[in-house]
């Protein structure tokens, strides 16, 4: 039953079941003297595993069926779940279980999506629908298709402790959280999304693992004390024995992209991945994903989320970068939020002027080398040699809502007209737009931070950490208990699609407009957005592309503003957020504005003009 084979740099991990019933078990434990496979059966069966000489312990077992539960025995003492477990039926502390990988895919005609095509909708599986599972998401796909989104981004689904969690406390990266459904349920979701022309982005966490149920250190040097991390021990990507650690996370990424047909990975907080290797782990991951693209002939997109204005992650490898496809840009949100809400506490102290929002429209980053009061240092750089379709921006997301004191959404703070103005600012920008679940109709239920740990000491540390975090914002009151079942239940969507009249239809129209107008299809920096100007709280800019030109006016004033058409040609209004069709107060300007003619903009409104009879020059 034992088979000793040479294992190369990239090694498949976990329990891999073949159609003939033979299952190979492989685990990385380079410093252990012995590892045994212990099958949870009656009677219990133990299989000695062989070391391949590079730290991988392997054994092949016949007549294995899906659902068979097992543990690994380390050095004759510790019994631990499989670090690469595909299924934890009893939760994070229980035995692992074997799964099958076969699935009847019907997406042969699907070849992936380019970043430029992405209109992303971020959701949390547990709170998106009442059922709180993958089947619930499937039931909404027709709705999402009608909205016009082209990608859904699912917050982390790796097995975490308890029933509910944001997902960033996952401790089994290869296992689907059991309360969300089976692996087949997830594949059904991806398959159904592809049938509707919707890509699937999965949020994965490679910068840390959660504290409860994390047994990786029992197997080997997965962690290092060389770097100080914010959430837990730093992962060992560049020290002794790091090759096994790097392989572990690369194999995980390839599993989601290949076996599950996932189209893109959003890699959480890559700035917290510390790696001084000659080849950074993000560069190595990108190389392996590009090889997968060649094998499958399907586009696979890598998105970096990080809090540094550093284009290195999305710069091609041949130009000294890591070659990833796109990145989240928080500062667009910060600049817009500070302007439209007036908040100036915490990191919002660095923002608040329309000039900063204009800077984000031009450079994606706001801080490109200026002094940051909040960071107390000069910060950022100009993202040269990048394009707008490498930058993902948003008005709201899980972080910016959920890390507020009460998880309150913009719909509880702003008027319907201000919400439409925010939507237009996002969807008329040249960047990849992301909507947070419920944003499109003005959801008012909060999205709060929630967990369901069982370790009392850990729970107290968690609550104290939340209190310290909110101290930066000077918010008053008692911090909601993330362990509360009520906090979790209150964070579920109401699905009251009439929460803010006209808002859904306005989002739908803007998305369709974005897809149809040639000027909205240009993502080249320095040509897509031109003539950015600010006057009397009105941000004005032009969108250019493919011989098409649009003029956008965003009035952030609470008063009507008079503007003069400075163009040499007449201009037609093509979008006015204050129009009656969006349940607004009604248009103030005429349908066509002549050269030199003044026109009025409603308070808190977005207006888009097209040029009439413009000759190509």
Residue ranges for the known binding site for substrate are: 266-271, 330-334, 398-403
Q: Which residue pairs from 376-385 have beta carbons closer than 8 angstroms and sit at least 24 positions apart in sequence?
A: 379/309, 380/308, 380/309, 380/310, 381/309, 381/310, 381/311, 383/309, 383/311, 383/314, 383/525, 384/311, 385/311, 385/315, 385/319
- Other C-beta atoms lying within 10 Å of the C-beta of residue 142: 11
Measured in degrees and rounded to the nearest 5, phi and psi for residue 286 equal: -60, -45
Structure tokens at 306: 């990080």
Instruction: Please state at what angle helix 354-363 crosses helix 330-341, rounded to 10 degrees.
Output: 160
Q: What angle do CA 261, 264, 270 make, to 5 degrees?
A: 135
> Strand pairing of 264-267 and 199-204?
parallel
- Other C-beta atoms lying within 10 Å of the C-beta of residue 548: 16
> Strand pairing of 301-304 and 326-328?
parallel
- Specify whether the CB–CB gap between 335 and 360 falls below 8 A: yes
Which residues have a Cβ under 8 Å from the Cβ of 465 and sit 6 or more positions away? Answer: none
- Specify whether the CB–CB gap between 127 and 447 falls below 8 A: yes
Active site residue 305: yes
Closest listed residue to residue 158, CA positions, set 31, 262, 73 = 262
- As a whole number of angstroms, the distance between CA 553 and CA 425 comes to 10
Question: Binding site, residues?
Answer: 266-271, 330-334, 398-403
Calculate Rg over the CA atoms of the chain.
Answer: 26
- Other C-beta atoms lying within 10 Å of the C-beta of residue 455: 13
- As a whole number of angstroms, the distance between CA 214 and CA 56 comes to 20
Which of 122, 275, 284, 305 does the annotation list as catalytic?
A: 305
Q: What's the Cα-to-Cα distance from 76 to each of 73, 108, 217, 343, 611, rounded to whole Å?
A: 6, 47, 16, 58, 77
Which H or E run includes 327?
strand 326-328
Structure tokens at 134: 């993958």
Place of tokens 């008692």: 478
Q: Is 412 helix (H, G, I), strand (E, B) or coil?
A: helix
Which of 212, 268, 417, 440 does the annotation list as catalytic?
A: 268
Q: What angle do CA 564, 567, 569 make, to 5 degrees?
A: 115
Closest listed residue to residue 425, CA positions, set 241, 605, 286 = 605
- As a whole number of angstroms, the distance between CA 492 and CA 446 comes to 8
Q: What's the Cα-to-Cα distance from 614 to each of 517, 593, 595, rounded to whole Å?
A: 16, 14, 12
- As a whole number of angstroms, the distance between CA 166 and CA 124 comes to 7
Active site residue 50: no
Closest listed residue to residue 30, CA positions, set 2, 45, 11 = 11
Q: Which residues are tagged catalytic? A: 268, 305
């Amino acid at each position: 039953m034992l088979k000793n084979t040479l294992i190369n740099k990239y090694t498949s991990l976990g329990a891999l079941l073949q159609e003939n019933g033979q299952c190979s078990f492989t685990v990385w434990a380079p410093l252990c003297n012995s590892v045994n496979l212990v099958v949870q059966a009656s009677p219990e069966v133990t299989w000695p595993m062989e070391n391949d000489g590079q730290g991988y312990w392997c054994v092949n077992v016949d007549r294995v069926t899906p659902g068979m539960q097992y543990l690994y025995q380390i050095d004759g003492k510790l019994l631990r779940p499989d670090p690469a477990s595909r299924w934890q039926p009893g939760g994070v502390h229980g035995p692992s279980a074997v799964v099958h990988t076969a699935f009847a895919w019907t997406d042969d005609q699907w070849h992936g999506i380019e970043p430029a095509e992405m209109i992303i909708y971020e959701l949390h599986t547990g709170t998106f629908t009442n059922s709180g599972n993958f089947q619930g998401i499937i039931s909404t796909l027709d709705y999402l298709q009608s909205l016009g989104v082209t990608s859904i981004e699912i917050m982390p689904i790796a097995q975490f402790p308890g029933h509910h969690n944001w997902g960033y406390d996952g401790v089994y990266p290869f296992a689907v959280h059991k309360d969300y459904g089976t692996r087949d349920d997830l594949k059904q979701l991806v398959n159904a999304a592809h049938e509707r022309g919707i890509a699937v982005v999965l949020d994965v966490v490679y910068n840390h693992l959660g504290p409860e149920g994390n047994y990786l250190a029992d197997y080997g040097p997965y962690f290092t004390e060389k770097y100080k991390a914010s959430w837990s021990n730093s992962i060992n990507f560049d020290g002794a024995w790091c090759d096994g650690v790097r392989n572990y996370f690369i194999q995980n990424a390839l599993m989601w992209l290949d076996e599950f047909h996932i189209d893109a990975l959003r890699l959480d907080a890559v700035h917290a991945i510390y790696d001084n290797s000659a080849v950074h782990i993000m560069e190595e991951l990108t190389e392996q994903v590009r090889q997968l693209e060649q094998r499958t002939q399907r586009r696979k997109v890598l998105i970096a989320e990080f809090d540094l204005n550093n284009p290195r992650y999305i710069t091609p490898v041949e130009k000294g970068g890591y070659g990833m496809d796109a990145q989240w840009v928080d500062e667009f949100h910060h600049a817009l939020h500070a302007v439209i809400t007036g908040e100036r506490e915490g990191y919002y102290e660095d923002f608040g002027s329309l000039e900063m929002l204009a800077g984000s429209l031009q450079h994606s980053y706001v801080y490109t080398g200026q002094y940051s009061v909040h960071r107390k240092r000069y910060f950022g750089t100009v993202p040269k040699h990048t394009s707008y379709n490498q930058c993902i921006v948003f008005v709201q997301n899980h972080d910016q809502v959920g890390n507020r004191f009460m998880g309150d959404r913009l719909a509880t703070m702003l008027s319907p007209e201000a919400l439409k103005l925010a939507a237009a600012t996002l969807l008329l920008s040249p960047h990849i737009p992301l909507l947070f679940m419920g944003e499109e109709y003005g959801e008012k239920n909060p999205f709060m931070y929630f967990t369901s740990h069982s370790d009392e000491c850990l729970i107290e540390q968690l609550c104290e950490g939340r209190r310290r975090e909110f101290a930066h914002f000077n918010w008053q009151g008692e911090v909601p208990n993330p362990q509360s079942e009520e906090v979790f239940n209150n964070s579920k969507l109401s699905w009251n699609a009439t929460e803010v009249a006209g808002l859904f239809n306005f989002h739908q129209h803007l998305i369709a407009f974005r897809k149809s107008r040639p000027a909205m299809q240009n993502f080249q920096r320095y040509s897509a957005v031109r003539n950015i100007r600010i006057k009397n709280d009105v941000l004005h800019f032009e969108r250019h592309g493919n011989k098409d030109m649009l003029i956008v006016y965003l009035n952030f004033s609470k008063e009507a503003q008079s503007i003069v058409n400075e163009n040499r040609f007449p201009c037609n209004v093509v979008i006015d957020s204050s129009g009656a069709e969006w349940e607004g107060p009604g248009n103030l300007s005429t349908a066509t504005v002549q050269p030199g003619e003044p026109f009025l903009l409603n308070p808190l409104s977005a207006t888009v003009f097209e040029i009439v009879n413009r000759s190509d020059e």
